[in-house]
Structure 1
Amino acid sequence: MNFVSIDFETANAKRNSACSLALTVVRNDQIVDDLYSLINPQAPFHWRNTQIHGLRTQDVAEAPTFSELWPHILPFFSPDKLVVAHNARFDCSVLKHSLALYNIPQPNFLVLDTLATSRSYFKGLQNYKLNTICQNLNIKLEHHHNALDDSRACADILLYQLSHFGNNNLNSFIKSF
C-alpha cells in the first residue's frame, strides 16, 4: 500500500494555527521518507498547547508560514493520494482551515483515519489515543505530540493493521476529502 501519514500540532485552539507538520511517506508497505517542518502560525501560542507539544513562539519565529510550506507538500494531496492520520478529523480540519486562512484552494484526496480503524480492530482498550494504540501494539512512539514521531507512529499503526487484517478490510475506511 502507498500512503502518506500526516500530523499537525497547533499553537492554540484555532484550527488555522498550525505550528508544526510532519509527513511520513509509505511506498509498497515500507516507510521511505519523512518531512518535518515547523510552521510560523502568525498567531499567539496558548500555554496549554505549548505544554502539550513544547513549541513556543521563539521556536517558529524563523519558520515558513503555511502558505510558504504548501507548494512543497501539495503533491501529497491529490485525488489519487491516500492521506492517513490518527484522528484525521483534527488533522484534516487544520489543513482545511490553514488553506482557507491563505485563500488557497482545497485539494481533493482520500483519507483513512487510524483512530477509526483502531476502534474497529482493537476492541476493549481503555482509550484509542495514539500513545495507547502504540503501547498495545509495541510500536515505538518516543515523543508523543512531536509531529514527526506521531506521523511515523500513525504509519506504523496502519502497516500493522495491513499485515494483520489485509488491505481489503481497510478499504471500507477510506473516505474522500
Structure 2
Amino acid sequence: MPGISFTAVDFATANSDRASVCGVGLVKVRNGRVEDKAFWLIKPPPGVEHFDPLNTRFRGITAEDVCSAADWEMSVEGILHFAGEDPMVGYTGSYNANVMLKASERLHLDLPAKDFYCAQSLARDELGLSKDSMNDALAALKLPPVAHPEPGANSMACAKLVLAIARMRRLGSVAELWNAPAVTIGHKPQGRRRK
C-alpha cells in the first residue's frame, strides 16, 4: 500500500535468556514495497553466550557460527542505522523488543525510543486463526511458508504478511493497522528549551 513504511525484524537467541542474541534479520519496507534487507550473525553478550541445543536445533545457529561475528554493541548500531526512524514490526513484537532491550541492558547501552508492533496479534485479529504460528498466518494469506525459521527468512515473511493484510484492508500506514505499539523501548531524546 502506498504510504506504509516500517522495518520488520526477527532476532535469534542462543538460549532461553533474551539477552543471548545471536542473529538478526531486517527488512525495510518503504511505501508498501520491500526496499532493502539484511541478515547477520551476532556474538552474544558475555555471560549469556552458551548455546542451548534446543535453540541451535530450532534456529540452526551454533557457537562456531558466531566466533568471528560482530558483537551486540556493533550490531545494535547497525540495526538502528538500518531502521532509521521506522517503527519496528516483529511477528512476535514484544519478544523482539525484549531481546533488543535485554541485550542492550546487559552491556549498559542506551537505546533511543523505538516502537515495536506485533504482526502475530494483527494476524490473529484480522484472520481469526485458531493457531498463532507464522506459517498458519502465511497459509491463510496464501503466502509461501517459512521452511527454516532463521531471522532473515522470518523478517521477510513478517514484512510480506503485514503488507498482505494492509492491502486486504486497504490501509496505508502502521497507525491504521494497529491502535498502538505492542511495546516501546528506549528513551525519547530530551527536548531543548527555547530561549
Same fold (TM > 0.5)? yes
What is the CA deviation profile of residues 75-130 of structure 1, one whole-angstrom value per residue up to 9, with x for unaligned ones?
A: 3556x42110111111100000011111111221222211111111111x230211
The CA RMSD over aligned residues, in Å, is 1.7
Task: Write 1 or 2 for the structure with the bigger share of helix.
Answer: 1
Q: Does 1:60 pair with 2:63?
A: no
- TM-score, normalised by the number of residues in structure 1: 0.91
Candidates 158, 168, 174, aligned match of 1:154? 158
Judge which range, 138-147 or 165-174, deviates more.
165-174
Candidates 74, 77, 88, aligned match of 1:83? 88
What is the CA deviation profile of residues 8-60 of structure 1, one whole-angstrom value per residue up to 9, with x for unaligned ones?
A: 01000000001110110000100010010101114100011011011111111
Amino acid in the other structure paired with 1:30: R
Amino acid in the other structure paired with 2:63: T
Candidates 30, 35, 38, aligned match of 2:33? 30
The number of residue pairs the alignment matches comes to 175
Identity percentage of aligned residues: 23
CA contact (8 A) 1:8 1:22 kept: yes
Match in the other structure for 2:187 = none
Task: Return 5+ residue gaps in structure 1 as ranges.
Answer: none
Match in the other structure for 1:133 = 137
Q: Following TM superposition, by how much is the alpha carbon of 1:73 offset from its aligned partner in structure 2, in angstroms?
A: 1.8
| Paired residues for 1:40-55 under 5 Å | 40-41=43-44, 42=46, 43-55=49-61
What is the CA deviation profile of residues 136-170 of structure 1, one whole-angstrom value per residue up to 9, with x for unaligned ones?
A: 21222343321000000000010011101124641
Match in the other structure for 1:98 = 103
Q: Distance in 1 between matches of 2:71 and 2:145?
A: 27
Q: Distance in 1 between matches of 2:62 and 2:117?
A: 30
CA contact (8 A) 1:108 1:176 kept: no
Counterpart of 2:43 in 1: which secondary structure?
coil
Amino acid in the other structure paired with 1:37: W
Counterpart of 1:39 in 2: which secondary structure?
strand
CA contact (8 A) 2:122 2:178 kept: no
Match in the other structure for 2:179 = 172
- TM-score, normalised by the number of residues in structure 2: 0.83
CA contact (8 A) 2:43 2:72 kept: yes
Task: Return 5+ residue gaps in structure 2 as ranges.
Answer: 185-195
